[in-house]
Structure 1
């Protein structure tokens, strides 16, 4: 055991993953949560983002499975769906519907509230962990703030009975974007960590639906994705949306539309009308075929923010930040839960391999966490830096914004197309998407780019095999092109055939 007591601030995904790791190294782990936690998969005040779709990337699935063995099986047993996106999702890219084909990547689809319910059940199996509900953390207890000997020694919190204190050998901040820990540290004498920020003015809006009892025969798909248009001419704002018809447990779906810098619908009628104007006709038709079960939920708190504790000369000993409390991403990129679980694993490895619980321990943890966070941060920057209206410390020069705006989606489309005929390209991109490889590794991989160039040459010569560009005004074709070796034809030709 590393110490007697560890305290985790916040009982969401980041906090529960941290608690699961700490249970192996401390006599007692106390999770302090402001909300009264529901027994079932229900929304709660402290996790407003639970009303939107959540992807759990492969690296996150593995990390959580390592912390809580049997997690994935329990999630599927509770209603989560293990799907292969390239086979089970209809994907509308720039030229139309992409072909359906098996791939290397799988995902477990479920709601955020179901993920948290299963995690809570796993946590409650561990006798070392105690979750205290209905308490509000109001401060830290510390000594020597800002000096080399500075240490966080516990927390202060408010209950119905009054103010309480809890001494701790380690405090983990998992309070999310709105964490006040920075302010409490400053009041105690620590310097504020430098922050990297970039807000691309992303807004997204979601509504929950029940699927039809008998879906139309054309619904071979379970997930619909419509990417923004690359047409620079006149078109409705909705053609700029990134839109998801996202399946979850219980025969339900979350319909979500999001954009960079465009006002999004707030009311049900406006939401339905906007879905009808998304550039792929199937998206609006599918939404209309379902029964709405919620109001419209809109979120604007989407800026990227990274609190760089690793750059402090004297980071606070006894404190670790995880999840959005350390690095919050644009939620479009589905990196938050997986990044939090990866940070928890890093903490566990540090506790397992290092002897002294001193400033060197925390510097080493911050250095390893920084390496892990670099991977999703670079992915988020690659797209969000393309917008002239973006604000923050990571805004780039105008020429770089123009390059990003001009080439990011075309490169993405080229990767998707080449992936259909080159297993190396497909697997490499899947590794990057799932945070198993960095964008830098992919960008400097000669074999990867050879695959892209070779595909583009074949495309110009009319020698590609798997067709694409199926009409986005029609239903996405369900033909399985896995192993297809027929003549290269256009999507229109194949539909007519």
Structure 2
């Protein structure tokens, strides 16, 4: 094949979503791609030790959908055929923000809902079709082989003993806990600078089977309850971010998360907390469904960026994708999409390269830095406002108070303007889906004009689309799309 010109063997460390996307990116450019994975990978959509976050909701953002679709043509159709749900959140989600429910209307954003298990199963199916990709399961990677500033092999242990594979390129896709940085330091590279911000996010989930015949009032498929902005006395649960998240197989994941609060760990405490959130609809939905799992809790949620791009001489023949280089607060649903986008970026750089040398490493890291900066800034924009947050990117107390005072109301204001003005909706959807930076959106003259018009109309009490429907009542099913279209 014409594309196989950069070497004999590429090795991917890790067979999760990031590693599978990397394998797809490498396949056209090396004779053989070897994926080394610690777990035994299931044939079907099943939980495994190496992906504890699979027990929680996963949004596949549009940028990630597109990137995976480029790496694996047909992925989206196969995900839907396997049970993924193609929905329009503004029409199919009941959304509680500010003082009450938002109105339903058609919007510019669609999403595919499904479990992390399903996403990875469809990815694995695609990788297994690549004739030059070999997935070695049940192996433990022990270290890298380095010589004269470059990585040229990987040591690992399999069921039969210690093994070694020579490599023309190695991709670290081993996630948040990747030991590669320590191996590089042991080989003579400096300790990489690490930027961190941990807002003490904890989230807890339980899986449910939906009723065969949902109540007539369930026009919605997805239920979202945003944290209150009310500063007075209220239960801690009013500050939870809550989802009743639809997935394949007529199931849903009930999830509650918070910044800095203790979260329920048992079925009994989970049910009690659910009854104290801002609307009775969440607990009522759970009551009508059948639990099919235990309660799963996750705490490893800090933002963490290993700044390999700041090394004067990064190792040749080594790149990083996914959480191994930049991990995000999972609340913002950026992980899989950022990993897939990095893998697609890698394929683009490989397609232009004549060799995997120092120039390739530097150019790829620089381009990846630009790509990662967008989700990184978006994650920090809110997490910096929490008093419980700590890390290198923690800001001074006065700045924190400013962020805390501004970020929540600003988000709600933009959401409100997006209800009324399609141009704001379009660009806000791009920001949410990592297709545009928040800075670019907020300097767009058409967006600014829409925000200004919304501010004026708010002051005059002249909204085209009502909002703030009683959170103690059922969310209204009325479609206000015509009123939205009139605001163009």
Q: TM-score range by the shorter chain?
A: over 0.9
Q: 1:19 aligns with which of 18, 23, 43?
A: 23
How do residues 169-248 of structure 1 correspond to structure 2 at under 5 angstroms? Answer: 169-248=168-247
Task: Say which SS state the counterpart of residue 143 (structure 2) adopts.
Answer: strand
Deviating runs (4+, > 4 A) in structure 1? 485-488
Q: 1:77 aligns with which of 64, 81, 91?
A: 81
Task: Say which SS state the counterpart of residue 132 (structure 1) adopts.
Answer: strand
How do residues 81-480 of structure 1 correspond to structure 2 at under 5 angstroms? Answer: 81-144=85-148, 150-480=149-479
On the 8 A contact 2:197/2:392 being kept in 1, the answer is: yes
The CA distance in 2 between the partners of 1:2 and 1:356, in whole Å, is: 6
Q: 1:46 aligns with which of 44, 50, 56?
A: 50
Structure 1 residues 487, 472: closer, same or farther in 2, change over 3 A? farther
Structure 2: 5+ residue stretches without partners: none
Tell me by how many angstroms 1:443 deviates: 2.4
The CA distance in 1 between the partners of 2:405 and 2:352, in whole Å, is: 46
The CA distance in 2 between the partners of 1:401 and 1:129, in whole Å, is: 48
Tell me by how many angstroms 1:460 deviates: 1.8
Tell me by how many angstroms 1:450 deviates: 2.2
Q: 2:9 aligns with which of 5, 21, 29?
A: 5
* TM-score normalised over the length of structure 1: 0.96
The CA distance in 1 between the partners of 2:485 and 2:135, in whole Å, is: 59
Tell me by how many angstroms 1:462 deviates: 2.3
The CA distance in 2 between the partners of 1:3 and 1:128, in whole Å, is: 13
Tell me by how many angstroms 1:161 deviates: 1.0
Tell me by how many angstroms 1:447 deviates: 2.4
Q: 1:30 aligns with which of 26, 34, 39?
A: 34
On the 8 A contact 2:419/2:484 being kept in 1, the answer is: no
On the 8 A contact 1:272/1:288 being kept in 2, the answer is: no
The CA distance in 2 between the partners of 1:380 and 1:420, in whole Å, is: 23
On the 8 A contact 1:432/1:439 being kept in 2, the answer is: yes
The CA distance in 1 between the partners of 2:485 and 2:268, in whole Å, is: 45
Q: Summarize deviations over 1:271-329 as a string: whole Å, max 9, x none.
A: 01111111011111111111111000000000000001110011010111110000000
Tell me by how many angstroms 1:14 deviates: 0.2
Q: Summarize deviations over 1:377-432 as a string: whole Å, max 9, x none.
A: 00000000001221110001212111110111111111111111111100010000
The CA distance in 2 between the partners of 1:165 and 1:299, in whole Å, is: 34
Instruction: Identify the residue that residue 494 of structure 1 maps to in structure 2.
Output: none
Q: Does 1:59 align with 2:70?
A: no
Structure 1: 5+ residue stretches without partners: 145-149, 489-497
Task: Say which SS state the counterpart of residue 256 (structure 1) adopts.
Answer: strand
The CA distance in 2 between the partners of 1:172 and 1:221, in whole Å, is: 41
On the 8 A contact 2:421/2:484 being kept in 1, the answer is: no
Task: Say which SS state the counterpart of residue 193 (structure 1) adopts.
Answer: coil
On the 8 A contact 1:465/1:486 being kept in 2, the answer is: no
Q: Which moved more, 1:203-212 or 1:388-397?
A: 388-397
Q: Summarize deviations over 1:93-147 as a string: whole Å, max 9, x none.
A: 0120000000010000000000000000000111010001010101101113xxx
The CA distance in 1 between the partners of 2:351 and 2:41, in whole Å, is: 31
The CA distance in 1 between the partners of 2:196 and 2:219, in whole Å, is: 41
The CA distance in 2 between the partners of 1:487 and 1:309, in whole Å, is: 50
On the 8 A contact 1:210/1:253 being kept in 2, the answer is: yes
Tell me by how many angstroms 1:486 deviates: 12
The CA distance in 2 between the partners of 1:345 and 1:485, in whole Å, is: 36
Tell me by how many angstroms 1:485 deviates: 7.6
The CA distance in 1 between the partners of 2:445 and 2:476, in whole Å, is: 34
How many equivalent residue pairs?
483
